[in-house]
Amino acid sequence: MAKHDVLLLNANYEPLNVCNIRRAVGLLLMGKAEVVTESGRSLNTSGGELLVPSIVRMRYQVRRPIPQLRLSRHSILARDNYTCQYCGSTKDLTIDHVIPRWVGGPGTWENLVTCCRKCNLKKGDKTPQQAGMKLRKVPKRPHYVPYLSLPKYLRALEREDWSEFLPQFSEFRQIGQTVS
Ligand SMILES: [Zn+2]
């Protein structure tokens, strides 16, 4: 995440977005937002020195429909910390249907896991029990922050100065260090 990225909070202090410095400064200049935390850095601009905010907050509550967390290959990989859920490998990752498709295993949060190609071959069209393999944890729909996309949320976790305003969910606790 770019070091000048700014966490944008709603008026009630809920995370609303991660935006670049230009957008944040625009909101400040228009009087729509206020600075919550400075980053301690400054930028030289044509208008003089500019203190870079780290967190800004909207002066009014932004109302939007709450988006749903989309089930996708990327969100399964992110939820599983880019780690094979059978052997722990982080290479050659693919997605596995825990209960195979041919016996009606659905494409859901609860039945899709990150899996390396080696384990995928070994497991084949069997269930984990039949293949003698064990999942490291039970796959679930992850918690999430409504307005931040999952990748944005995961990147935002890398910012220590934002942690106060980001809810931390146990399934993502180590992801912050590994997602680049
Ligand atoms: Zn594996």
Within this chain, do residues 81 and 123 fall inside the same structural domain, yes or no? yes
The boundaries of the domain holding residue 109 are: 73-131
For residue 165, being part of any structural domain is answered with yes
State the Cα torsion 50-52-57-62 to the nearest 10°.
Answer: 80
Q: What is the pLDDT of residues 64-112, one digit of tens each?
A: 777 777 899 988 998 898 999 999 999 999 999 999 999 999 999 999 9
Instruction: Give the count of beta carbons closer than 10 Å to the beta carbon of residue 3.
Output: 10
- What's the structural domain count of the chain? 2
Measuring CA to CA, how many Å separate 164 from each of 105, 112, 159, 175? 40, 32, 10, 17
How many angstroms is it from 133 CA to the middle of ligand 1?
A: 10
How many angstroms is it from 144 CA to the middle of ligand 1?
A: 26
What is the chain's percent helix, strand, coil content, to nearest 5?
A: 30, 25, 50
For residue 92, being part of any structural domain is answered with yes
How many angstroms is it from 136 CA to the middle of ligand 1?
A: 11
pTM for the full predicted model: 0.62
Residue 122 has pLDDT above 60, yes or no: yes
pLDDT mean across residues, the chain: 87
User: In angstroms, rounded to a whole number, what is the distance separating the alpha carbons of residues 32 and 57?
Assistant: 9
For residue 168, being part of any structural domain is answered with yes
Within this chain, do residues 124 and 90 fall inside the same structural domain, yes or no? yes
Residue corresponding to tokens 């260090």: 177
State the pLDDT at residue 173.
Answer: 56
Is 113 in contact with 96 (CB distance < 8 Å)?
Answer: yes
How many angstroms is it from 88 CA to the middle of ligand 1?
A: 6
For residue 138, being part of any structural domain is answered with no
3 state DSSP class of 177: helix
Within this chain, do residues 80 and 53 fall inside the same structural domain, yes or no? no
For residue 154, being part of any structural domain is answered with yes
How many angstroms is it from 108 CA to the middle of ligand 1?
A: 20
Within this chain, do residues 60 and 26 fall inside the same structural domain, yes or no? yes
| Residue 177: pLDDT band with limits 50, 70, 90 | very low
State the pLDDT at residue 53.
Answer: 93
Residue 124 has pLDDT above 70, yes or no: yes
State the pLDDT at residue 93.
Answer: 97
How many angstroms is it from 109 CA to the middle of ligand 1?
A: 19
For residue 79, being part of any structural domain is answered with yes
